[in-house]
Chains A and B, each alone.
Chain A
Amino acid sequence: MKVRRANRTDIPFLVDAIIEAEASGTQTISYREIFRLNDRELRDLFDSILCEEIQGCGWSPPEFLIAENDGEAAACCAAWIEGAGGLSSSIIKAQLLVEFLGQGKWENSKENLSAASEINIDRTPGILQIDSVYTQPRYRGHGLSSILIREHLLQAAKSGTRRAEIQVMKNNDAAIKAYQKVGFIVKREKGSDNIRLGQLLPYHTKLVMGRD
């Protein structure tokens, strides 16, 4: 198994990873529900965003590490330093979504966006953010996500960033256990009893797990 930085040729796999990680083990993919997209539109959206290679929110190929087996991408994980370029990752993501969905789609989805934002938790500036942790089903159970997270932590530590955060839905037991194994503990949680969230997000409560 080889670990390497992702590049543009990995984009189809990274699109899978972002979508699967977003579903958090459920059938609900927030971006598809919030913006009322079909599966093709959803894939095209993330393909376009990744091609743009805007860093600072985990939606750019060079922010991903990939675990590769015999030339096949088996797992991946994104990481970035929050706010390193001046803007928060949530603002960068919003700007990318407006750019590639179009202003009209964004405006028409404002009620959904507002509901989904009820469990938004700001990421901490200056701290390594781990996101889009994904392993292809046939490679699961071999600790690939731990290897990739540890490698991100190591690389960030070399540049002086030792603290890290991961946001995860509270119902994603497998992910929470995997992150605990790498030293993350639950730092904060935010939930909402808004009934609409059940249609928009994989779960109504989000956790922030941290590693000091």
Chain B
Amino acid sequence: MTKEQIMGQLTSVFERVFQKQDVTITREMTAKDIEEWDSLRHIQLITDVETAFGIKFRLREVLSMKNVGDLIDLIQTKRA
């Protein structure tokens, strides 16, 4: 998968988890940029990303992600 394809699919996951339309995700985006991004939504987001991309993250992988860019890179690595 290309990063653009991942970003497209990831946008749909974000829209579903945060119940918002027209979400624009960027590589620099973090939990601070979405008001509703609390710990409960974070767990939902990670679970939905795993389901959408058919992958499974390890604990330390999830905790090492600093922003959405890191999430995209990790998805690409796992899907390769």
Which A residues are closer than 8 A to B by beta carbons?
52, 54, 56, 85-88, 90-96, 98-99, 103, 106, 110, 113-114, 117, 120
B70: nearest chain-A partner, CB-CB: A86
The secondary structure that dominates the B interface is helix
Contacts of B59 in A (CB 8 A): 52, 54, 95-96, 99
Alpha-carbon gap, A168 to B39, bound state (A):
20
Check B43 against A98 for contact (C-beta < 8 Å): yes
Please, which residues of chain B bring their CB within 8 A of the CB of A90?
38-39
Q: How many residues of B contact A (CB 8 A)?
A: 16
Q: Is the CB of B43 within 8 A of A94?
A: yes
Cβ-neighbour of B63 out of A54, A106, A110, A113 (below 8 A)? A54
- Please tell me if B62 contacts chain A, counting CB pairs below 8 Å: yes
Chain A residues within an 8 Å CB radius of B52: none
Question: Which residues of B are found within 8 Å of A85, using beta-carbon distances?
Answer: 63
- Give the distance in Å from the alpha carbon of A88 to the alpha carbon of B31 in the complex: 9
Contact of B39 among A52, A94, A99, A103 (CB under 8 A): A94
A87 touches B31 (CB 8 A): yes
A88 closest partner in B (C-beta): B31
- Which residue of chain A has its CB nearest to the CB of B47? A103
In the complex, the chain B residue whose C-beta lies closest to that of A94 is: B39
Report the bound CA distance from A99 to B30 in whole Å.
22
B32 to chain A, nearest CB (A): 8
Q: Which of B31, B62, B66 contacts A95 (CB 8 A)?
A: B62
A-chain residues with CB within 8 Å of residue B40 when the two chains form the complex: 94, 110, 113-114, 117
Pair A86/B43 contact, Cβ less than 8 Å? no
Query: Considering only CB atoms, which chain A residue lies closest to B58 in the complex?
Result: A99
The distance from the CB of A68 to the nearest CB of chain B, in whole angstroms, is 30
**In the complex with contacts A94-B42, A110-B40, A113-B40, A87-B63 CB distance below 8 A:** yes
Q: How far is the CA of A189 from the CA of B42 in the complex (A)?
A: 25
Residues of B within 8 A of A52 (CB): 59
Known: A93-B39, A94-B39. 12 other contacts (CB 8 A): A54-B63, A86-B65, A87-B31, A88-B31, A92-B63, A94-B40, A94-B42, A95-B59, A99-B59, A110-B40, A114-B40, A120-B38
Report how far A33 CA is from B9 CA in the complex, Å.
37
Instruction: List 8 A–B pairs whose Cβ atoms lie within 8 Å, in order of A's numbering.
Output: A85-B63, A86-B66, A90-B39, A95-B42, A95-B46, A103-B47, A110-B40, A117-B38
Q: Top 4 closest A-B pairs, CB basis?
A: A94-B39, A86-B66, A90-B39, A99-B59
